[in-house]
Homo-oligomer: A and B are copies of this chain.
Amino acid sequence: MAKEKKVEQITDMDVDFGQWFTDVVIRSELIGYSGVKGFFILRPYGYAIWENIQAELDRRFKDTGHENISMPLLITESLLQKEKDHVEGFAPECAWVTFGGSEELEERLAIRPTSEVLFCDHWQQIVQSWRDLPKLYNQWASVLRWEKSTRPFLRHREFLWQEGHTVHATAEEAIAETEQMLEIYADVYENVLAMPCLKGVKTDKEKFAGAERTYCVECMMHDKKGLQAGTSHYFGDGFTKAFDITFTDKTNTLQHPHQTSWGFSTRSIGGIIMTHGDNNGLVLPPRIAPIQAIVIPIGMHKPGVLEKASELVSRLKTVGIRVKCDESDQTPGWKFAEYEMKGVPLRIEIGPKDIENGQCVAARRDNGEKVTIPLAALETKATELLDDIQISLFNKAKENLDKNTRNAATLDEAKAILNEHGGFIKTMWCGSRECELSMKAEADVTSRCLPFEQERIGDTCPICGKPGDKMVVWGVAY
């Protein structure tokens, strides 16, 4: 009974994917609403996922020589205006502080929408010589963008992220950094979040305000829409010139250094939900699940059951599995539904009969399979199952991405495919912004990226018919 009731509470994903998403986010207690539109509470279960993602990213950042730093929350309007493209991109969506206590400020202050200008202002003070380079910085912070329409995880007015900012002696070094960080993002998506991704470059139209080049990882959600999942920007020396950052190189010549930035946000959690979730709720990849295994005692009040359950917990903890036992007075059925909703990868049931037989029963969240495990093999089997769930989730998502990415040689073909199947299409492209805009107007898709792995699908741009030697992936995106 309890189980059916719970499941009723979320909308069927095939009926209304958007409502299903919101239902899952609320029912699995990831997000709470606050009194200000677009400002969400990341509840403990949601925040714990973010902490696990943070740990994976932070370790990789430090292993590649980056240092964490904390920049101020507020930016003077004049500082924000120093780089022309950047201010055009961000000023319209800034939140502005105009009073400090009861005093009106002489110059209004923007809450950071991103922190490029703060880093540049700092580098201008501390970079003098080639000895000071590179500076490889990262900041874990929240930023504000005053979006019109908002949605949990996908579009917040305030969101948590990391923003890396680096400055280098040469363009080559800065480009290598930009690419390295994109590879780290792709590694975390594929090997930690079990989300396959396309790696590529954004078109000029889609690149970051002020960047020379924006690299991105793009994922496909269960509903075949795309998600821009992380970006890494190469700035050249545009900002460093605007901010008058110079260094003397080894030959004593004054130079402008080259700059990058790269960001990964809580949006990724939205991606996890929409990639792996199902009609019973959340499905979490084991590597970032706050609880990897939940032990449910059956016939809890029978002698020996709770003791045995807590023995299983201890044993699983010793092999590094994040495990809990639910000893609350709710029914097993209620608990099954609850931890399915919360996407816990593995459920372990233990009751009097299991104890008698020297076994427990493990149920996989990803496919519902139940396996009887001899207690003697608990640690090995649980570890194997978690590894297998991680891989199965990736494979399933990869199948979805591959199956729903199709080639199109003509505009009509592209439109027909999109009408019938949705998903991503690959076409050649001449490189002109006009054709990119036409594609949007005609087929209602935007360019996701020019993948690193280019293919040849004919040799003309299907929009204008002129020669096209670039392959673009197009799709509808969140």
Contacts and interface: CB of A to CB of B under 8 A. Distances in A.
Contacts of A109: 36, 95
Chain A contact patch, size range: 35 or more
A48 B68 contact: yes
A358 interface: no
A69 B131 CA distance: 40
A98 B101 contact: no
A142 interface: yes
A379 interface: no
Nearest to A33: B125
Interface of A: 32-36, 39-44, 47-48, 50-51, 67-76, 79, 92-102, 108-109, 111, 118, 121-122, 125-126, 131, 137, 142, 144, 146, 157-158, 160, 328
Given A39-B73, A70-B160, 15 more contacts: A34-B121, A39-B72, A41-B118, A42-B69, A42-B70, A44-B69, A47-B69, A48-B67, A50-B70, A74-B158, A92-B101, A95-B99, A96-B99, A97-B97, A99-B108
For the complex of A and B, list the 9 residue pairs with the smallest distance between their C-beta atoms, beginning with the closest. A44-B67, A39-B72, A42-B70, A96-B99, A100-B146, A101-B146, A34-B72, A98-B98, A95-B97
A68 B290 CA distance: 12
Contact of A41 (B72, B111, B144): B72
A100 B150 CA distance: 14
Contacts of A40: 72
Contacts of A43: 69
A40 to B, nearest CB: 7
A55 to B, nearest CB: 11
Nearest to A105: B95
A33 B124 CA distance: 12
A43 B123 CA distance: 11
Nearest to A51: B68
Given A67-B48, A99-B98, A73 B111 contact: yes
B121 A73 contact: no
A328 B68 CA distance: 22
Contact of A98 (B73, B96, B125): B96
Contacts of A131: 328
Given A35-B121, A39-B74, A71-B41, A94 B101 contact: yes
A125 B71 contact: no
Contacts of A50: 70
Nearest to A74: B36
Contacts of A126: 32
B41 A69 contact: yes
B47 A68 contact: yes
Contacts of A125: 32-33
Contacts of A75: 35-36
A93 B100 CA distance: 7
A72 B146 contact: no
